[in-house]
Amino acid sequence: MSPDTLERVAAAGLDPARLPRHIAVIMDGNGRWAQQRGLPRIEGHRRGVHSVRGTIEECCRLGIGQLTLFCLSTENWKRPRHELDFLMSLLHRYLIAERAEIIEQNIRFTTIGRRDGLPDNVLREIDENVRVSQANTGMTLCLAINYSGRTELVDAARAIAERVKSGQVRPEDIDEATLSDALDTAAMPDPDLLIRTAGEMRVSNFLLWQISYAELWVTPKCWPEFDAAVLHQALHDFAKRERRFGGLKG
């Protein structure tokens, strides 16, 4: 970490040695937040963008290596058409609006999830953000869009099966590394910390393979209420956890 980053970490009362390398977030409660205030659900999504921006900025300030945000699940396509159209429009605008910040903050942008079903204009902006940031060396920002943990595992199994069929790999040589390398997240570190907002106690088909040993942290606050103070609380609690990865305390 740079001296400036270390200073910011210390100012937040955090130990740089106890920070997670990779934080994943299930951003839940946008619609609930809006309905509690008598607003349309789409206003919650609009307000949620501010929490996205603030969380990215704070993670960059603290030197977090990767932030993965669950933006849209494959199951979300069941929502009303007008809400989905708004979400796609909001995502399109966000990808364009944040491009300059991605470059300025030295963020490497990437996505996981199936491209099928996403509008062409969204795919173009995703690809452009990936292109302009591919040489950046700061935090990796990964957006999970049209993503499903089970679908990802199915796609990985199919890819490995094709390799077996073509003789590139023998069934007996398949191990955990083989599967990990076939996932959308290949070459990414597994999340150390999984944050979920809105108080729901489930992982909702998110990074099912990758979060095997992640620390789970749930807040009752809805995503539009998530800010740097809540993030710091999660990081403080994470630092107190004893991570044994199936072993015993030494």
3-state secondary structure string across the chain: CCHHHHHHHHHCCCCHHHCCCEEEEECCCHHHHHHHCCCCHHHHHHHHHHHHHHHHHHHHHCCCCEEEEEEEEHHHHHCCHHHHHHHHHHHHHHHHHCHHHHHHCCCEEEEECCCCCCCHHHHHHHHHHHHHHCCCCCCEEEEEEEECHHHHHHHHHHHHHHHHHCCCCCHHHCCHHHHHHHCCCCCCCCCCEEEECCCCCCCCCCCCCCCCCCEEEECCCCHHHCCHHHHHHHHHHHHHCCCCCCCCCC
**Domain positions in the chain:** 21-148+191-237
Task: Give tens-digit pLDDT for 24-41.
Answer: 999 999 999 999 999 999
Predicted pLDDT at 197: 98
Sign of the C-alpha dihedral computed for residues 128, 134, 135 and 141 taken in this order: positive
For 174-205, write each residue's pLDDT tens digit. 999 999 999 999 999 999 999 999 999 999 99
Q: What b/e readout covers 158-177, taking b as 16+ CB neighbours within 10 angstroms?
A: eebeeeeeeeeeeeeeeeee
Render pLDDT for 97-121 as a digit per residue (tens, 0 to 9). 999 999 999 999 999 999 999 999 9
Per-residue confidence (pLDDT) for residue 111, from 0 to 100: 98
Question: What topology does CATH give the domain 21-148+191-237?
Answer: Undecaprenyl pyrophosphate synthetase (3.40.1180)
The answer, yes or no, to whether residue 47 has pLDDT greater than 70, is: yes
pLDDT greater than 90 at residue 67: yes
Point out the residues that are catalytic: 28, 76
Which residue's structure tokens are 């009752």?
A: 220
pLDDT for res 25: 98
Q: What distance in Å separates the CA atoms of residue 33 and residue 206, rounded to the nearest whole number?
A: 22
- pLDDT tens string 147-162: 999 999 999 999 999 9
* More confidently predicted of 22 and 242: 22
* Mean local confidence (pLDDT), 133-158: 97
Q: What is the mean pLDDT of residues 77-101?
A: 93
| Identity of the amino acid at 228 | A
Q: Is a pLDDT exceeding 80 seen at residue 244?
A: no
CB atoms within 10 A of CB 11: 10
Q: Has residue 72 got a pLDDT over 70?
A: yes
pLDDT at 249 over 80: no
